Structure 1
Amino acid sequence: MFKLIISVVLLSLLTGCASADFGSPNTYQRYDVQHLGQMEEATILRVRQITIESSSDSSGLTSIVSAAASAFLGSQVIGNGKGRYVSGALSGAAAGFISQHVSAAMSRHSGIEVFLRRANGQTVVVSQVDDQRFVPGEHVYLVSSGSGYRITH
C-alpha cells in the first residue's frame, strides 16, 4: 500500500507541475536581449496587489495522463484478480484529483498592478510580478521592449 501512495503522489506532482513563467522585470527573454527598447521616467500613483493566473491546462491533459499512469501502477502494485482493478481505479481517481488541484495552484502567482503618470501627463497601468516594491510618489522607469512594458527602479 505504501508503494501505491508514493507512486500516486510522485506521478501527480510530476504531471501537474507545469506552470507558466510570467517573467520578472529583472529577467529578460532571449528575444529582448540586444534589441532596442525605450525608457521613460514616470511617477507611481498607486500600487495594488493582484493574482496573475496563467492559462492552465484547461484540456485536462495532465490530469488524464496522471490518472491513467497511476491507474496502471496501482493495478500492478496491489493484489491479483479483482483487487488489482479496484486499486487501479482508486489510484487513478486519486491521481487525477491531486494533479488537477496541483496544476491549478501552480498556475497562480502574486503580482502588482501599478498606476503611473508619464512625463506627458498620461496615466497608464502596468501589471507585473511582484519582485520589486514600489510606493506612491516614487519616480521609476517605464521600459518598453518586444515583450511589453515593465517598471523598474
Structure 2
Amino acid sequence: MIKFFCSVMLLSVLTGCATADFGSPDTYQRYDVQRIGQFEQATIMRVRPITIESNSGSSGIASIVSAAAGAFLGSQVIGNGSGRYIAGALSGSVSGLVAQRVSAAMSRHSGVEVFLRRANGQTVVVTQVDDQQFAAGQQVFLVSNGSGYRITH
C-alpha cells in the first residue's frame, strides 16, 4: 500500500513538472544566438522584487495525464471487483490534485523590476528573473536583441 502511494505521488510530481521560460539574462534562446544586438550603459535608480508567473502550465494537461495514470495504477494495485474501481477513482483524484498544485507552484519565479536612467536621460523599467543582484546607483549594461531587453553587469 505504501509502495503504491509513493508511486502515485512520484508520478504526480513528475507529470506536474512544467518547465517555464522566465527569460533569464544568462540564458539565450536559439534564435538570439549569432545575431547582432545593442547595448548601452545605464544607472540603476531603484530595484523592486516581483513574482513572475508563467501561464504555460494552465492548460491542465499535466493534471489530466497524472489523474489518468493514477487511476490506472490505483485500479491495478488495490482491491478486487468494485474495490478496484473505488481505489482507481481515489488515486486518480489525488494524483490530479497533486499535479495541479505542483504545476501552479512551478509556474512562479522570483524576479526584479529595475528602474534605469539611460545615458540620454530617459528612464525605463525592465523586469527579469533575479539571477543577478542589482542595487541603486550601480552602472549596468542594458542589452537589447530580438527578444527584448536584459540587464547585466
Contact 1:56 1:103 in 2 (8 A): no
- Separation of aligned partners in 2, 1:59 and 1:135: 37
The reply to whether residue 128 of structure 1 matches residue 128 of structure 2 is: yes
Aligned-residue Cα RMSD (Å) equals 1.0
- Structure 1, unpaired ranges of 5+: none
Mean Cα deviation higher: 23-32 or 67-76:
23-32
Partner residue, 2:19: 19
AA aligned opposite 2:99: S
- Structure 2, unpaired ranges of 5+: none
Could you tell me the TM-score, scaled by structure 1's length?
Answer: 0.96
The SS at the match of 1:87 is: helix
User: CA-to-partner distance for each residue in 1:6-63, whole Å, 9 max, x for gaps?
Assistant: 2211110111001202132122222111110000111000000001110132221111
Matches within 5 A, 1:1-153: 1-153=1-153
Contact 2:57 2:107 in 1 (8 A): no
The SS at the match of 1:83 is: helix
Number of residue pairs matched by the alignment: 153
